[in-house]
């Protein structure tokens, strides 16, 4: 399989932005595989976060792949700039563009990995025509816009469906989950088929973010070994 079985992706949205470099170093040293970067425009979601200059600064501060989650309208307008700034993976919402196929193709053309994201109210079937054109499918387990929200459990069934589809068609995309991931639910998510676990609050608001990163990773890995 082309993708790593388990990846922990700390979401910097929950970190202390005044100490961003230090925060990133801590999770990188603790074994996080990916850094999740949430971009919000105040239109697609009711919040504004960060943009291209922060991605460029992060690219210089860490070796980790940058997983850039675009919660913006018309993502096509900014794909190239985010990739030039250092995005390794770009994730666009199915709900944010009427030209999802084009947006995904643009991401790959500019040399990054392409991801498609679905909100809690969007069924997996909305991605059926692009399954062979994505490196990642991201299932939102909260309504996007804010960190620290409660996990919405319909994500489990959607992840199981994706996992079954991936097996059926011998697909090679990663399954990622974002929102409310913590020590309580990560094992079940791993068993359902998730590869990439985004975690903001449960890492950066923990008393020891390095320990939290390691524990999440251990629980996910252990759940899989028991399943096997």
Torsion of CA 94, 97, 100, 104, to 10 degrees: -100
Spot the catalytic one: 41, 67, 135, 178.
Answer: 178
Q: What is the phi/psi pair of residue 112, to 5°?
A: -110, 170
Spot the catalytic one: 22, 38, 41, 182.
Answer: 38
> Looking at beta carbons only, is 96 or 165 nearer to ligand DX5?
96
What six digits make up the tokens of 82?
């985010």
> Looking at beta carbons only, is 46 or 226 nearer to Zn ion?
46
- Binding mask of the shown chain, residues 113 to 152, with x at each position contacting ligand DX5 by CB under 6 A: -----------------------------x-xxxxxx---
Q: Does 11 bind ligand DX5 (CB under 6 A)?
A: yes
Residue 183 near residue 216 (C-beta atoms within 8 A): yes
Q: Does 178 bind Zn ion (CB under 5 A)?
A: yes
Please spell the DSSP secondary structure of 103-123, one letter per residue.
HHHHHHHTTSEEEEEE-TTS-
> Looking at beta carbons only, is 11 or 215 nearer to Zn ion?
11
Residue 101 appears among annotated catalytic residues: no
Binding footprint of ligand DX5, residue count (CB under 6 A): 22
Q: Does 41 bind Zn ion (CB under 5 A)?
A: no
Q: Does 28 bind Zn ion (CB under 5 A)?
A: no
């Amino acid at each position: 399989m082309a993708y790593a079985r388990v990846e922990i992706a700390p979401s910097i949205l929950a970190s202390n932005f005044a100490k961003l470099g230090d925060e990133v170093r801590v999770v990188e040293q603790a074994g996080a595989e990916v850094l999740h970067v949430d971009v919000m425009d105040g239109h697609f979601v009711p919040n504004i976060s960060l943009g291209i200059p922060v991605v460029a600064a992060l690219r210089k501060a860490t070796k980790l792949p940058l997983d850039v989650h675009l919660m913006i309208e018309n993502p096509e307008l900014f794909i190239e700039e985010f990739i030039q700034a250092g995005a390794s993976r770009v994730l666009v919402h199915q709900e944010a563009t009427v030209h999802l196929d084009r947006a995904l193709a643009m991401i790959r053309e500019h040399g990054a990995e392409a991801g498609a994201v679905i909100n809690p109210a969007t069924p997996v079937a909305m991605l059926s025509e692009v399954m062979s054109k994505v490196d990642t499918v991201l299932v939102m387990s909260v309504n996007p816009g804010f960190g620290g929200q409660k996990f919405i459990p319909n994500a489990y069934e959607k992840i199981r469906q994706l996992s079954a589809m991936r097996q059926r068609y011998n697909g090679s995309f990663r399954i990622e989950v974002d929102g409310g991931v913590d020590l309580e639910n990560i094992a079940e998510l791993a068993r359902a088929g998730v590869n990439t676990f985004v975690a903001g609050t449960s890492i950066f608001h923990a008393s020891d973010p390095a320990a939290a990163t390691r524990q999440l990773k251990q629980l996910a890995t252990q759940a899989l070994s028991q399943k096997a």
